[in-house]
Amino acid sequence: MISNSSLDSLDDSALLGQFGHLVRKAHEGSAQLLRHIDVIDRRKLWARLGHPTLFDFLVTRYHMSEATAFKRIGAARTARRFPVLFEMVGRGEIHLSGIHRLKAHLTCENHEQVLALAQHKTIRQIEALVAHLAPRPDVPTTLRALPNRTPPAQALTAAAPVAPTLGASAATAFFEPTSAAPVPAASALAAPAAAASAAPVALDPTPASGPAPLPPRRDPDPEPLAPGRYKLTVTISESTRAKLKQLEDLLARQIAIPKGDTAALLDRALDALLTVVQKRKIGITAKPRAPRMTEPPPNGQQTRHVKASVRREVWPRDEGRCGFVGEDGHRCDETRGLQLAHKKAWAKGGANTAENIGLRCPAHNALEADRDYGAGFMARRRQQKQQKQQPLKVREPLARYVLRAEPRATLLSRTGAVLVQTNGLDHRW
């Protein structure tokens, strides 16, 4: 087995070469696993070995996770219908999650074209492809209150069950231009909790010291329903619901938005917010001002402020994405959290001009900073910045009053006291 110390001794080229070899072997191994699962399924070896299903055979005997076993069984049975999938998995052209999303839409007539379009695609891209293959109608817009539910950890450790109540002030609104009756996250978590409590295991009566586990994070990307149509599910607060209602009332007669069409209202609100953010972050306005000629700062001092005219030029030039290009010519495609970075470091005399500034994602901006200033120096600066951002800890003082040592003359002039020295002792009168 290769140890971390042996990998640390490799140069970058050798490390990437070995990594690519391992990835290719993993793809080939996945294809071989699918072939074996297909044959085991057709021979029903799982039944002869005392398992009720192939799924139980993989999970119980070979300790696969439930999700892994489910996807591998589905991929193997789909590849039995379309054997080209075995070769595509072996070459790394499609992953099991992609097969899982496409298996219900593949036919003898379209599988060659669909699988060709699905090569080297991400899950999001394959979901968009499925939306083209099987468009779904728009879902109705619903708005309902969510009940207050006991967290799963408290439900397990509580001495007596507490019935869920619906509080008007604490209730949150559920805005869903999506499905009509989704399952709340709390109820989805309650089922595993109930199953766990029913299992014959001894529960510790003492409550857990750590915080309650968070509910599973919902996918932030809207789900494609049809070409150009997406499904969005969000949970909003009571104040957001009030703002939504107020906007609907104010715009009822000014613009053609039907009552209850939250999607159209959201589109108008996003247009207004995007205009404000683009003006502040990028400098894009309907009537941009001409750049003014400013005098150079005194004593050659520079500031990090980048003019709006420079930002307006840099953003479209870099196409609103990170402009870092790797050693092999691959350009970063990140669009989130972009920062203005100097090609020639600002502290080394780099100017705030469009020629010297480009868009960088946080990771590549940090990488170039390590290159320009040194990794050790930047690590210390980031640690100092992180310490400044931490909340201050208030400690109890050792004494309620603090005694200050002041000159005797100052103290006498402020208090008007008279000191008489007797036998080497000071007496106050």
User: Quick one: pLDDT at residue 86?
Assistant: 96
DSSP state string for 130-198? HHHHS--PPPPPEEEEEPB---HHHHHH-SS----B--TTT-EEEEESS-SSPPPHHHHHHHHHHHHHH
User: Quick one: pLDDT at residue 236?
Assistant: 86
Distances (CA, A) of 81 to 92, 107, 126, 149: 19, 9, 20, 46
What are the residue boundaries of the structural domains of the chain, listed by start?
Answer: 17-133, 306-389
End-to-end, the C-alpha distance of the chain in Å comes to 88
Region at 304 (left for phi over 0; alpha for psi -120 to 50; beta for the rest) = alpha
User: Quick one: pLDDT at residue 169?
Assistant: 37
User: Quick one: pLDDT at residue 295?
Assistant: 59
User: Quick one: pLDDT at residue 143?
Assistant: 76
Residue 397 neighbours by CB under 8 Å, 6+ apart: none
Element (H, E) at 13: helix 12-43
Q: β-strands 419-422, 234-236: how paired?
A: unpaired
Q: Helix, strand, or coil here: 227? A: coil
How wide is the angle at C-alpha 289 spanned by C-alphas 287 and 294, nearest 5°?
170
Counts of helices then strands in the chain (DSSP H, E): 17, 9
Q: How far apart are alpha carbons 85 and 103 in whole angstroms? A: 11
Among 283, 280, 251, residue whose Cα is nearest residue 268: 251
Among 169, 166, 197, residue whose Cα is nearest residue 184: 166
Among 275, 271, 181, residue whose Cα is nearest residue 233: 181
User: Quick one: pLDDT at residue 220?
Assistant: 65
DSSP state string for 54-74? HHHIIIIIS---HHHHHHHHH
Convert 334-390 into a string of H (helix), E (strand) and C (coil).
Answer: CCCCCEEEECCCHHHCCCCCHHHEEEECHHHHHHHHHHHHCHHHHHHHHHHHHHHHC
Its pTM stands at 0.61
Q: How far apart are alpha carbons 329 and 327 in whole angstroms? A: 6
Q: Helix, strand, or coil here: 234? A: strand
Residues in the chain where the model's pLDDT stays below 70: 1, 149-220, 254-256, 291-302, 390-429
DSSP state string for 277-302? HIIIII---SSPPPPPP-PPPGGG--
Tell me the per-residue pLDDT of 347-402, one tens digit each, with 9 for 90 and over: 888 888 999 999 999 999 999 999 999 989 999 988 888 888 766 554 544 444 44
Sign of CA dihedral 419, 422, 425, 429: negative
User: Quick one: pLDDT at residue 262?
Assistant: 84
Q: How far apart are alpha carbons 102 and 98 in whole angstroms? A: 6
Q: How far apart are alpha carbons 324 and 334 in whole angstroms? A: 10
- By CB atoms closer than 10 A (0-12, 13-18, 19+), residue 141 is middle
Q: Using an 8 Å Cβ cutoff, are 94 and 85 in contact?
A: yes
Residue type, 427: H
How wide is the angle at C-alpha 23 spanned by C-alphas 368 and 101, nearest 5°?
100
Tell me the per-residue pLDDT of 129-140, one tens digit each, with 9 for 90 and over: 999 999 989 888
**Neighbouring C-beta atoms of residue 317, cutoff 10 Å:** 13
- By CB atoms closer than 10 A (0-12, 13-18, 19+), residue 394 is exposed
